[in-house]
Amino acid sequence: MEMQADPVSEPLLELEMEMAIFVADWLHCDQCATYVASMVSHDRPDPIRHANLLSAALNELFEMSFHTRECNGALTCRFYRNGATERIELTFPCSAEQRSEYRTILEHMQGGGHALAAYLDLITNDAARAEHAILLGLALNYDAGITLHEHDADMLTLVVDLALERLLN
């Protein structure tokens, strides 16, 4: 199911890979993130800085899909741009239980409060789930807007808006 970007967003790139191939090797997360970030960042004022920031954020998202260990279906990554904001739409197979966990994580994040304290607790807790730290880290470290869209047939789309140009460090 293809998501529709807002009408002023420009489509930049789409990558699709069979999940069985993607989860066969952990290095695929970094390799795909580096390649895609370089392609999307080529026309930014500081393309190397932009690509590095984008690659790190995208690698985290790819790792989330990798951790599902789902081998049926495809991983699809779509990029859109609206001014200084890149939108990543990452669609991947995801069980109902995992989708529920992601929904709960995002609900807690939107509740406001002590996000930094929660993030610090997460990254120092060996028992914490990586997905929670990844989503909260993207929201805090990259000022990312994150939403999710659930689909029939055990698919999930994470929509992440990143305005990397305005990050100072």
* Percent of the chain whose pLDDT exceeds 90: 44
pLDDT at 5 over 60: no
156 has a pLDDT exceeding 60 = yes
Closest among 62, 67, 4 to 33, alpha carbons compared: 62
Summarised one tens digit per residue, pLDDT across range 75-101 is 999 999 998 899 999 999 998 888 888
Q: What tens digit of pLDDT does each residue of 112-129 get? A: 556 666 666 666 677 666
Q: How many CB atoms lie within 10 A of CB 8?
A: 9
Given a contact cutoff of 8 angstroms between Cβ atoms, the answer to whether 132 and 105 are in contact is: yes
pLDDT cut 70: percent of the chain above it? 82
Read off the pLDDT band of 1 (50, 70, 90): very low
What is the rounded distance in angstroms from the CA atom of residue 55 to the CA atom of residue 34?
A: 5
Q: How many CB atoms lie within 10 A of CB 137?
A: 18
What CATH topology corresponds to 11-166? Heat Shock Protein 90 (3.30.565)
- The rounded mean pLDDT for the chain is 84
